[in-house]
Amino acid sequence: MPTYRFREIKHQASKNLPCPVCGKKLRRQRTFGQTLNPFNKNADGQVKTELEIVRELNATAAEWEQQPEPHPNCQQQAAS
């Protein structure tokens, strides 16, 4: 059985925002990705095109880039 590999479209995002707990800047990097395949469909039930996926990834990444995150240590202190 051959293995079909679907191409994954990726978008690398990074942000540099102040931690809400200590106020020091926190740098984060994250890669958002979606696979271009016959099962990845949009709201209309059509297979997503590469352009659609790129647009979605851009929107998701832009939203994520605007959300401040606390350092893991700061988060623990805030919880206790």
Complex with Zn ion: residue 52 or 69, whichever CB lies closer:
69
* Type of residue numbered 16: N
Site residues for Zn ion, 39-78, by CB under 5 A, read 71, 74
Complex with Zn ion: residue 54 or 70, whichever CB lies closer:
70
**Of all residues in this chain, which one has the CB nearest to Zn ion in the complex?**
19
Is residue 13 a contact point for Zn ion (CB under 5 A)? no
Binding site for Zn ion (CB under 5 A): 19, 21-22, 71, 74
